[in-house]
Amino acid sequence: MSTHVPAAVLWDMDGTLIDSEPYWIAAETDLCAKFGVPWSHEDGLQLVGNPLTTSAQALRDRGVLMSIDDIVEHLIGRVTMQVRERAPWQQDAFDLLNAILAAGIPCALVTMSYKQLADALLARVPEAFAVVVTGDEVARGKPDPEAFLLAAKRLGVEITECVAFEDSIAGVASALASGARTVGIQRLIPIEQREGLSRLSTLEGLTVDDVRDIALGKVVDQLG
């Protein structure tokens, strides 16, 4: 088997690499409470993986009387503070990330969180990612493929030779649309079957050779 595939591995951050989605949902819930409007865990799940401006608009529509920019700034500040205090790694993803890096395969972080939050994580793993693409530097967030295409461009590789790991509906759609071999990890929300999509309940036990097989076109579906 060729050791030159995948050309790179592209990682989502929130939910995929770190268990930060509860931080986001708590921040949304607390902000809604300040304005006396309801916000449930299920409401928060609907926003997983979406651009922050989309989340902010949903909160504003619900009754949070702040500008979109101010809502985004508030949420980012709250979650960044918590990640700085404790970056709750998804252990299965952390182990696979280290194995991929040890194999000499470059990695990129492709997140809809803004640079401020990504930097809080990168401070803990400063050498892990050759390229970082954040939500505040793309014109169109996930599910648009722009972020993944930009990561491949910055890495100088073909997107079709990359493997992307995602845990959200918007993220999976973005990665698939980009042309990357896509792995959906079912964490908080169901990942529906789609053509060419690998679906896993966990990354535990997944090896670098498995990732190479996926890069070559193998589809692995633990959920089917």
pLDDT in tens, 8-66: 999 999 999 999 989 999 999 999 999 999 999 999 999 988 899 999 999 999 999 99
CATH number of 21-85: 1.10.150.240
Domain extents for the chain? Answer: 8-19+89-215, 21-85
Judge whether 8-19+89-215 and 21-85 match in fold: no
Question: Does residue 4 surpass a pLDDT of 80?
Answer: no
Reduced to 3 states (helix: H, G, I; strand: E, B; else coil), residue 131 is strand
Residue owning tokens 């205090």: 85
With 0-12 / 13-18 / 19 or more C-beta atoms within 10 angstroms meaning exposed / middle / buried, residue 92 is: middle
Q: What is the rounded average pLDDT for all residues in the chain?
A: 95
Distances (CA, A) of 154 to 97, 133, 185: 19, 9, 25
Angle between helical axes of 68-85 and 115-122 (0-180°, round to 10): 10
Q: SS3 for 108?
A: strand
CATH number attached to the domain at 8-19+89-215: 3.40.50.1000
